[in-house]
Amino acid sequence: AEQRFRYTRPIVAGDELVGTLSVTGVRAVGKGAMVTSEAEITDASGAHVVTATSILLVGGDE
């Protein structure tokens, strides 16, 4: 598993944030898959705050 974060500004207490998650890639690995997703987080005004990219290994049937 891997995660990366690219901040436009710091997140502070009281922020109202909205996230949109997209699956940006799926690659077969053995009986499972490696899934890449990207979350775009904005504040209440719609301004970009952070982009979070995650790569997860999802298991298949055992």
* pLDDT at residue 60, rounded to an integer: 72
Which tokens sit at 15?
Answer: 């922020």
The full set of domain ranges for the chain reads 2-58
Q: Alpha-carbon distance 28 to 21, whole Å?
A: 21
Predicted pLDDT of residue 61: 67
Instruction: List the chain pLDDT tens, one digit each, 62 residues.
Output: 899 999 999 999 999 999 999 999 999 999 999 999 999 999 999 999 999 999 999 987 65
Question: Could you tell me which CATH number the domain at 2-58 has?
Answer: 3.10.129.10
Contact 32, 58 (CB under 8 A): yes
What's the CA gap between 3 and 41, in Å, rounded? 15
Which of these, 26, 62, 19, 25, lies nearest to 44 by C-alpha position? Answer: 19
Question: Nearest-5° angle of CA 7, CA 10, CA 14?
Answer: 130
